[in-house]
Amino acid sequence: MSEALAAMRAELERDGESLTFLPLAEALRLRGDLDGAARVALAGLAHHPNLADAHDVFARILADAGDLQRAADEWGIALALDPRHGGAHKGLGFLAYRRGELDRALDHLELALSADPSDRSVVQALLVVRGAHEAAAEEAATSSAPWEREAAAVETAPVPPPAARTAATVFAGLEGGEHGMLLLDPRGRTLAGGLRSAAGANVADEVAAYLAGVSQEAERTSRLLELGDWRWIAAEAEDGTLHLSRPVPEALLLLARDRSVPAGRMGILAVRASDIARRWLEAQVV
Amino acid sequence: MKAGFGHVLDAITRVRGVHGAMLVAGEDGLVVAESLMEDIRGHAVAALAASLYQRFRRATQAAGVRRPEFLHLQAAGGSLLVVPALEGVLVVAVAAGDINVGLARLEMIRAAEAMG
């Protein structure tokens, strides 16, 4: 047994109510000692029945043991205690994916990502589920009845190919693509897309101008802090969010949304829009 | 760390994955107080964090949105987080990639409120 496990056990023996049972149960689960992990988690739950994290760790143990129904119950309790619990949303997203309920899986994973945007395992899971979702939609479009194919087409094929789009319509078909997505160069000049305020005014040029130089500053900041390449910047206000990313080194992508759109959803939209922006920029060069 | 603001920053740096926290004058980017790891160049980071925040403040204003309550720069290996406090002061945190952003944000908001 590692020193860390021994230290955690000693801590629990000293103080039966210590929250050390959470990392200890998780460590035992990761080592494959599911019986030991379950004993520790249950003992902790006896002291902390209203702790969402405790139900979350117990649910993970149950899921590893194959008891998916009880795992779902435990994650359900965690969400009842803390509706924004990222671990519970992640777990329920995983279970929904296993059942083939892709829409539900996406909902949970997006909420998990909004609870913790830095959780790479959630980002990875979202990519997998989104891929499965798109594959399922394609299959529906080719194998179902005509009216079903039509419905699937509306959901999945809203946009013309990149080369056929103009600067004004480059993001057409994406959620908010016509007035909430802006492609600009690092000097703050607009390249494509559009941006309107809630009142309907065209604010694209003004907003882009204020973002001139942001890319270089973000780069310098990341370099100073040895954080590697910067990926995105989100500015959340009471009534809206700006999300800036860099689809290619010579262009920035700005998304503007009201606060009803969770941060995780913004990230997903940015990935989709970045992909379109990259292909559109390549088409312009050709 | 400069005296007087230590307790404000301590709660932030106690969050697992936070490498340091600063109070920065938003207008000129000068450090008001800091609690950073030794190898972080606080003054340069403070100036850049303030500049980034100001650019986004003007951009949100131009977009018809209120001032940002939270700025999050995500890089491959970590994050820079900014929360505005009263009188133009910014609470800035430097964090690792696997940080619980929600928790850090909560502590930064508490710190900003404590300054009021």
Beta strands B18-25 and A251-257: pairing type? unpaired
| Number of domains observed in the structure of chain A | 2
Summary mean pLDDT of chain A: 82
Q: Does A214 touch chain B (CB under 8 A)?
A: yes
Q: With bands split at pLDDT 50, 70 and 90, how would you rate the model's confidence at B56?
A: very high
Q: Scan residues 40-99 of B and list those with Cβ closer than 8 Å to A.
A: 40-41, 44-45, 48-49, 51-52, 55-60, 62-80, 94, 97-99
Q: Tell me the CATH number at A15.
A: 1.25.40.10
Provide the pLDDT for residue A49: 83
Domain range for A240 is: 162-285
CA distance A126 to chain B (A): 17
Tens-digit pLDDT profile for residues A197-208: 888 889 999 999
What's the CATH code of the domain at B71?
Answer: 3.30.450.30
Q: How confident is the model at residue A120 (pLDDT cuts 50, 70, 90)?
A: confident
Residues of the domain holding B37: 6-115
Query: Is A221's CB within 8 Å of B77's CB?
Result: no
Task: State pTM to two decimals.
Answer: 0.61
Residue B41 lies in a domain: yes
Residue A223 tokens, joined: 């370099």
Q: Is the pLDDT score of A153 beyond 60?
A: no
Smallest CA–CA distance from A254 into chain B, residue: B59
Q: Is pLDDT above 80 for B3?
A: no
Q: How many domains is chain B built from?
A: 1
pLDDT of residue A167: 75
In-domain check, residue A118: no
pLDDT, averaged across chain B = 89
**What is the dihedral sign for C-alpha A118, A122, A125, A131?**
negative
* Higher pLDDT among residues A186 and A183, named by residue: A183
The pLDDT confidence band at residue B21, using thresholds 50, 70 and 90, is: very high
Which residue has tokens 């190919």? A161
| Interatomic CA distance for residues B103 and A239, integer angstroms | 22
pLDDT in the model for residue A178: 77
Alpha-carbon gap, residue B69 to A13, rounded angstroms: 43
Q: And the tokens for B89? A: 């002061």
Q: What is the dihedral of CA A267, A227, A210, B56, to 10 degrees?
A: 60
Q: How far apart are CA B23 and CA B31, in angstroms?
A: 6
Residue A235 lies in a domain: yes
Comparison of pLDDT for B48 and A108, the residue scoring more = B48
Domain assignment of residue B48, yes or no: yes
pLDDT digits (tens, 9 = 90+) for A211-251: 888 888 999 999 988 899 999 999 999 889 999 999 998 89
